[in-house]
């Protein structure tokens, strides 16, 4: 991961270069905002932002109070600073969120055109402080486009979001599309009031660090995507604690541009309904060079789900369907999962399109168990076009790990256990070329190799 160290060095230099020698401050109350939570204050807040930008940049300060607002547009060299006790409160009226259709087109065009905070092609922007952004998400009902995002950054450079509480988004909490040099640190995210409440979505971005975030989300907690023809690359996620009604740490589902040089380190995934660690390629693209290390999981649907599929969805109209894509060079080390579900973990490619170079080292998984002899005889359907989730194949024929259509799989110091007796083998390898099993501890359960 030498490229990643270099990327973080560039990120740090960019952040230092963006810091003004003497910061100007623009207090929203000086521009007419009352902070009483009763009247709409979008105009006053926007005037403060525009004045700050025109003056060359600085901080727009929200003192303690509640500031009701529709869409505000963040400008270059402007920091939104929410002081302790300050809440930027999203309006409950959809008319207060005018459409913003970006120049950068992606599949997310079909998801949204509205957000509380919006920035496009801005540089050196930040949101920080001990305050709160609250989207009042429970007030919005209906399809994607009638539910605004809380925050959306598109083709921005030198972005920092830190320390604030983000809560109750009507849809995705925060979306970073085709951005560069992004630093997300010490966020608290609490959003389970609507559908599609992803905690963080990094989409086709370069040089990103996410650290020390605590996320309780209704949808995927930390999700990397590529909804356009740009890869997500040089991304580090570290020291985060997440809980989700869907997936915890995830790459996909949208994968058109692929993923390169991604690292998850020292994270905890708890009380997560679907996959603890989910890595996908289903819309073409290439996943190459992913590491996950020092991950603790408790009460997850499945500890590991890796899938190369072929949903083959283009990211805009008129495009040809992409090919099957590639998924290779993944290292998962020092992972401990307890309380995983009955189905089991899986690493699954397609006939003629194997996943390649997957290494599990010092991995311990305790699953629920309870599988029967009939489950062990199952041959899961291929389902190449299906939406990918760990339970898409039904109960797997292995209690611990099912691997199919793969090449160069290494299991090194892997421990697999079940909470209840299980009639299935602990490991099933099906159409796997060049496997290497070193010190696989299954407490006597079988390791089976199928054609």
Tally Cβ neighbours within 10 Å of residue 144: 17
Q: What is the 3-state secondary structure (H, E, C) of 337-368?
A: EEEECCCCEEEECECCECEEEEEEEEEEEEEE
Residue 8's pLDDT is what? 46
| Separation CA 276–CA 297 (nearest Å) | 7
- For 37-85, the pLDDT digits (tens) are 999 999 999 999 999 999 999 999 999 999 999 999 999 999 999 999 9
The model's confidence at residue 22, banded by pLDDT at 50, 70 and 90, is: confident
Q: Give the per-residue pLDDT at 204.
A: 98
Q: Which residue, chain included where needed, has tokens 């992606």?
A: 106
In three-state secondary structure terms, 389 is: coil
Per-residue buried b or exposed e for 172-188, using 16+ beta carbons within 10 Å of the residue's own CB = bbbbbbbbbbbbbeebe
Give the C-alpha distances (Å, rounded to integers) separating 313 from 307, 405, 440.
16, 22, 38
- Quick: pLDDT tens for 325-341: 999 999 999 999 999 99
Q: Hey, what are 9's tokens?
A: 């060095």
CB distance 268 to 244 below 8 Å:
no
- Reported as type and span, the H/E element at residue 45 is helix 42-54
Peptide bond preceding 253: is omega within 30 degrees of 0, i.e. cis?
yes
Does pLDDT of 207 surpass 50?
yes
Rg (CA), the chain: 23
Sequence ranges of the domains in the chain: 2-450
Tokens of 398: 């292995």
Work out the mean pLDDT of the chain and round it to a whole number. 95
Superfamily of 2-450 according to CATH = Single-stranded right-handed beta-helix, Pectin lyase-like (2.160.20.10)
Give 286's strand partners: 326
Q: Name 61's Cβ contacts closer than 8 Å, sequence gap at least 6.
A: 25, 26, 27, 28, 81, 83
For residue range 169-194, what is the model confidence (pLDDT) as tens digits?
Answer: 999 999 999 999 999 999 999 999 99
What average pLDDT does range 421-425 have in this prediction? Answer: 98
pLDDT in tens, 252-293: 999 999 999 999 999 999 999 999 999 999 999 999 999 999
* 316 CB-near residues (< 8 Å, 6+ apart): 105, 106, 107, 109
Instruction: Give the model's pLDDT for residue 21.
Output: 52
For 160, the token pair is 């920092």
Please, are residues 302 and 339 in contact by the beta-carbon 8 Å criterion?
no
Q: How far apart (Å, rounded) are the C-alpha atoms in residues 395 and 65?
A: 52
Strand partners, 118: 73, 152
Provide the residue count of the chain: 451
How far apart CA 314 and CA 133 sit, in angstroms, is 34
Percent of the chain residues topping a pLDDT of 90: 94
The reported pLDDT for the residue numbered 198 is: 98
pLDDT digits (tens, 9 = 90+) for 110-155: 999 999 999 999 999 999 999 999 999 999 999 999 999 999 999 9
- What are 339-384's pLDDT values in tens digits? 999 999 999 999 999 999 999 999 999 999 999 999 999 999 999 9
> CA 441 to CA 400: how far, in whole Å?
11
Tokens of 202: 């990094």
pLDDT tens per residue, range 3-19 = 544 444 444 434 433 44
From its phi and psi, is residue 22 left (phi > 0), alpha (psi between -120 and 50) or beta? beta
């Amino acid at each position: 991961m030498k490229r990643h160290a270099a990327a973080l060095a560039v990120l740090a230099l960019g952040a230092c270069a963006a810091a003004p020698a003497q910061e100007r401050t623009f207090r929203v109350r000086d521009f007419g905002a009352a902070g009483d939570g009763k009247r709409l204050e979008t105009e006053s807040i926007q005037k403060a932002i525009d004045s700050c930008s025109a003056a060359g940049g600085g901080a727009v300060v929200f003192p303690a109070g509640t500031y009701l607002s529709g869409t505000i547009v963040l400008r270059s060299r402007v920091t939104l600073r929410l002081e302790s006790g300050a809440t930027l409160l999203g309006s409950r009226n959809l008319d207060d969120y005018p459409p913003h259709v970006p120049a950068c087109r992606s599949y997310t065009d079909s998801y949204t055109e509205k957000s509380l905070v919006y920035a496009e092609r801005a540089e050196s922007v930040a949101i920080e402080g001990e305050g709160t952004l609250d989207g009042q998400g429970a007030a919005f009902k209906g399809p994607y486009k009638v539910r605004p995002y809380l925050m959306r950054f598109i083709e921005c450079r030198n972005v920092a979001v830190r320390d604030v509480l983000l809560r109750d988004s009507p849809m995705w909490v925060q979306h970073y599309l085709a951005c560069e040099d992004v630093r997300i640190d010490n966020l608290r995210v609490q959003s389970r009031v609507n559908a599609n409440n992803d905690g963080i979505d990094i989409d086709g971005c370069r040089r990103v660090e996410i650290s020390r975030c605590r996320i309780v989300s209704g949808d995927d907690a930390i999700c990397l995507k590529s909804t356009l023809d740009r890869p997500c690359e040089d991304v580090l996620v570290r020291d985060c604690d997440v809980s989700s009604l869907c997936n915890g740490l995830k790459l996909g589902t949208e994968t058109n541009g692929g993923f390169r040089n991604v690292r998850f380190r020292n994270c905890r995934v708890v009380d997560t309904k679907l996959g603890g660690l989910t890595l996908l390629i289903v819309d073409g693209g290439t996943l190459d060079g992913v590491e996950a290390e020092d991950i603790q999981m408790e009460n997850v649907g499945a500890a590991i789900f890796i899938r190369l599929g072929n949903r083959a969805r283009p990211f805009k109209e008129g495009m040809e369907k992409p090919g099957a894509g590639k998924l290779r060079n993944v290292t998962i080390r020092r992972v401990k999962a307890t309380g995983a579900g009955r189905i089991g973990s899986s690493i699954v490619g397609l006939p003629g399109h194997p996943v390649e170079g997957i290494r599990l080292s010092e991995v311990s998984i305790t699953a629920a168990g309870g599988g029967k002899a009939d489950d062990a005889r199952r041959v899961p359907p291929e389902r190449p076009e299906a939406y990918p989730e760990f339970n898409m194949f039904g109960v797997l024929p292995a209690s611990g790990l099912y691997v199919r259509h793969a090449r160069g799989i290494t299991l090194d110091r892997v421990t697999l256990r079940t909470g209840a007796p299980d009639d299935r083998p602990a490991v099933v390898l099906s159409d796997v070329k060049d496997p290497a099993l070193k010190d696989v501890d299954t407490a006597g359960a079988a390791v089976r190799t199928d054609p």
